Chain A
Amino acid sequence: MDVRMGGRPVVEIRMRVNGVMESLDLEPRVSLLDALREHLGLTGTKKGCDQGACGACTVLVDGERINSCLALAVQYDGRAITTIEGVADGEHTHPLQSAFVRHDGFQCGYCTSGQICSAIGMLAEHGAGAPSAVTEHLSADTIELSDAEIRERMSGNLCRCGAYNGIVGAIREVASGESGRDVMEAAR
């Protein structure tokens, strides 16, 4: 805490971002979102509201989806962050990425990074048996991932272009297909 930048105390933060260990000197007030966009140049993660109200900034922390705009980067010291730039497996895009293209699950593309990261986290949550607000029987061991379940679970990601049908279609396809199982395996 002895480094100063612009007269402000900064802290050293080390995070594994998309598999790469990154070290940053940041003021504690820098959000994880701004750390990614402004300090690491990872602009795939979007800022839509900076208020936790749109989901455009969704990233995965140790496999769990969060809104990076309300996260102080310093709180995520030592954690593993995955952004849209890191969901592909090398040259092979993630099955959700290609499904989004096939299903036209976007228009302007600005909510898309968040939708895809959120969907990856969502499938993992569902795979782990987590219920949602529309789950009929909370005590059930397995919950069928109906369209209503997908919609409720994805409701933290706004799409003003209204690409919701395409997004749900893409997720449904990946969740029900072979690729779906891979995603859930990988996310676990």
Chain B
Amino acid sequence: MTQAPVHSRPAPATAERSVGKPIDRVDGRVKTTGAARYSAEYPYPDIAHAALVHATVSRGRIAGIDAAAASAVPGVLAVITHLNAPAMKPPPPVSMMNLSTLASGTTVNYLNTDEVHWDGQPVAVVVAETLEAARQGASLVRVTYETLPATFDFAAEEKNAKPQKSDLVQSGGATKGDAEAALAAAPVAVDLRFTTPPHNHNAIEPHATTAAWDGDRVTVHDGAQNMYWVRDNLAMKFGIPAANVRVISPYVGGAFGGKTMVWAGTILTVLAARVTGRPVRLMLTREGVYRTVGGRTPSTQRVALGAEADGRLTALVHTSVTRLGRVGGGPEQVTSQSRHLYDAENILVQQNLVKLDLLPNTVMRAPGESIGTFALESAIDELASELGMDPIALRMRNEPERNPIDGKRFAHRMLREAYARGAERFGWSERTPEPRSMRDGRWLVGMGVASAYHPSWQFAANVTVRLSPDGTVVVRCGFHEMGMGGATAQAQIAADALGVPFEAVRMEYGDTALPTGPGAGGSGQTASIAASLLSACEKLKRSVLALARRSGDSPLRGQRMTGVEARDGGLYRTGGAGLGESYAKILTRAGRDSMEARVGSDTRVGAIAGQVRFMSKLMLDRRRWVKAASGAQFCEVRVDPDTGEVRVSRWVGVFDVGTVINAKTTASQLRGGIVMGIGMALSEETLVDPRNGRIMNPSLAEYHVPVHADIPAIDVSWLDEPDPTMPLGLIGVGEVSITGAAAAIANAVHHATGRRVRDLPITLDRLL
């Protein structure tokens, strides 16, 4: 048993069902009192501090390192460079049968090579008694380079991009019919080019690691989205068994994809601890995060749409160019949504890639769809203008019954309902369609709309559930809590499945000593754990029932699971008089101090079996249907007619995310994505100097994430219809709401000003 999806919700077991409720977070108190410890906050006596030295050339070889001045700083314990660092194993080749091989942020074997592959690559680590001495030491390490020819200018190199090859998990391109011919023949058409800049995650917690060796075992506190990848990667690099590495990560101060891979800071902290024989802590400087942790790739995109005069799409072309590093990075599914959103007769999507001598890109909230929906949904709006149609009506005219690109079934699709509800809540009917037709005082007012779309994922998860005679439940699973509210949601699920109060459930997570949990990515964590947790709870109830049936005294004697429900802290016969008994009674009578059920196995064989099961389920699922979260984004902007400043004044988002486990945390997640989408639309851009490939604004003062004053009240709601193919009917909510957000704003800006801005961010100079 059992990663099989559980298709139904558990029966409302107790009068007080937890699932769906806006329950306060279980970690609310520790997070509001400062008691929650993040990875730089574990006290170790004798802790030493590390600081990184970054390369200042894009490609080259280290010609010389002068560490004398750094070593002379009082308190400096070690200056570790490629000249004296112990050997580490290079990252392994990627294998889909061992997903942890995907974990390396880059293929560089840090401090084991004299090669420099990007401006910012760490070339030395300084370890010292104090933070101040470590940083001072790092500033004094003098490195000289032999530079090598390099390419880093995305705009200039974009023309050299090559088509992305498809693999098991990602498809680089697809066609249906002859889209270019249909485009040429279409009575109404738009053919547009969009660009999006690089972005950085900018979690407020910079990446931080605390590492302590004990012989050949190491404990690592590391803010991670996949502790098991960190564990396996470190074990491999340092040549020790994975069992010797324990990664502890209960609180992660934001991640958004930036803490998915294993980056230099983590590895080099563990290295520094090994070299110095001391526990070592490294919190990257904010600049260090920009220089060593990848961000979102920039893109150029072409979207061309052809339609009949009635709005029926005959051609949809979406192509993209994104970049990889020459030493890592991955393609982004920029055209993903364009395969699923519109029922065009002819479709051509193709993603292209160019490799540059830059820090490799990495996943960032809705990689692909966040920027892909900007282009597609802006283009749809432009086509609607060309056609003189309402943009929602155009979308509804092309709303497909089956997946447009290949005719597969949708597991679930409610975009029509989302638009209907959204239009109503937003007051879309008040909008006068002509650009510049709405004003509020001196402000130009614009209203825009766009679709949100993000595929749903599910990964393997091992879970144990333990029941005690006092009726309390402990759920153990090494999952990640970066703020999504996972612990709260899973406790709700367990409470309902076992018929115990929410407060009786305790979650243990964030530690590789626990049963292997899923990584936090692809908005898949909640569903992945829920599937296993529900199975584990079923198993547990069966075992408890078996125990009760063995006793002559139990009113459950002779009962089968089908005739029994879990509620009120025990098992009771359905219907009739509701005879049954509490867990406490059953366990106490049997003399058991606890009962446990487990799903999945952490043995080597078990782990491999788990991966195989995951991959085959993924493949099977992919063949059967298309699964996704989606939604309708409505926004209102005000534009200052003198200066072009854009302010978002209203937002309504209606999402189809299946069953909602916790109304409070779900709303926050959805709002959070929209906030990041507002930043992406209006102000965020990582500035990579095209003359040398160096990031020039590695700072929260110069990379403008939205502040309080940028964000209006955001109205989010959901349709709350379970997806029949997902555990409990739930679809992940972590990413969908950033998609479509930038397009909704761009479309609103057009409505306000008559200007189409196809290059993000929409800074005021683009509107002057």
A residues with a Cβ closer than 8 A to B are 6-8, 27, 29-30, 34, 37-38, 41-54, 56, 83-85, 88, 93, 97-98, 100-102, 104, 106-113, 116, 134, 147-148, 150-152, 154-168
Tell me if B29 is interfacial: C-beta within 8 Å of chain A. Answer: yes
Whether B441 sits at the interface, judged by CB under 8 Å, is no
A164 contacts B708, C-beta separation under 8 Å: yes
Q: Nearest residue in A to B678 (C-beta to C-beta)?
A: A162
Q: Are A100 and B482 in contact (CB under 8 A)?
A: no
Contact residues of B: prevailing secondary structure: loop
Q: Which residues of A contact B252 (CB under 8 A)?
A: 108
Task: Assess the B74–A7 pair: CB atoms within 8 A.
Answer: yes
Q: Write the B329-373 contact mask toward A (1 if CB under 8 angstroms, else 0).
A: 000000000000000000000000000000000000000000000
With A46-B253, A56-B204, A162-B674 known as contacts, the answer to whether A107 contacts B668 (CB < 8 A) is yes
Q: A27-B132, A161-B254 are in contact. Are A49 and B286 (CB under 8 A)?
A: yes
What CA separation (Å) do A79 and B36 show in the bound complex?
26
In B9-65, which residues have CB < 8 Å from any A CB? 24-25, 27-38, 40-41, 43
A38 and B131 in contact (CB under 8 A), knowing A110-B253, A165-B711? yes
**Which of A7, A8, A154: most chain B Cβ within 10 A?**
A8
B31 contacts A49, C-beta separation under 8 Å: no
Given contacts A85-B34, A151-B709, A160-B676, could you give 6 more A-B pairs where the C-beta distance is less than 8 Å?
A: A34-B132, A41-B43, A49-B699, A102-B24, A104-B665, A163-B668
**Chain B residues near A51 (CB, 8 Å)?**
286, 699-701
Bound CA–CA A163/B665 (angstroms): 10
Q: Report the Cα distance A152→B205, complex, angstroms.
A: 23
A101 touches B32 (CB 8 A): yes
Choose among B133, B204, B665, B674 the residue that contacts A110 (Cβ–Cβ < 8 A).
B204
Q: Are A162 and B34 also in contact (CB < 8 A) when A6-B75, A168-B708 are?
A: no
B435 at the A interface (CB under 8 A): no
Inter-chain contact B700/A83, CB cutoff 8 Å: no
List chain A residues, Cβ under 8 A from B28: 100-101
In the bound complex, CA of A154 to CA of B711 (Å): 12
Instruction: Return B479 CB to nearest CB of chain A, in Å.
Output: 15
Give the number of residues in B that approach A within 8 Å (Cβ atoms).
65
- 11 A-B residue pairs with CB within 8 Å: A8-B74, A51-B286, A100-B28, A100-B32, A101-B24, A107-B484, A108-B255, A152-B708, A160-B676, A160-B705, A165-B711
Known: A49-B700, A101-B32, A108-B205. Is A162-B675 also a contact (CB below 8 A)? yes
Task: Please measure, in the bound complex, the distance between the C-alpha atom of A161 and the C-alpha atom of B737, giving whole angstroms.
Answer: 13
Closest 3 CB pairs of A and B: A44-B34, A162-B675, A107-B483
What distance in Å separates the Cβ of B284 from its nearest Cβ neighbour in chain A? 10
Q: Is B759 an interface residue (CB 8 A)?
A: no
B669 within 8 A of A: yes
Decide if B129 is an interface residue (CB 8 Å cutoff). yes
Task: Note all chain A residues with C-beta closer than 8 A to B255.
Answer: 108
The residue on B at minimum CB distance from A169 is B713
Alpha-carbon gap, A41 to B40, bound state (A): 11
Say whether A104 contacts B664, CB under 8 Å: yes
> Do the beta carbons of A113 and B204 come within 8 Å of each other?
no
Say whether B523 faces chain A, with CB atoms less than 8 Å apart: no
- Give A182 to B516 CA distance when docked, in angstroms: 47
Asked if B462 is an interface residue, CB under 8 A from chain A, the answer is no
Among candidates A84, A85, A166, residue contacting B668 with C-beta atoms closer than 8 Å = A166
Please name all residues of chain B whose beta carbon is closer than 8 Å to the beta carbon of A84 when the two chains form the complex: 32-34
Whether A160 contacts B204 in the complex (CB less than 8 A), given A88-B33, A109-B253, A110-B38, comes out as: yes
Contact between chains at B672 and A46 (CB < 8 Å)? no
In the assembled complex, the CB of B665 is this many whole angstroms from the nearest CB of chain A, namely 7
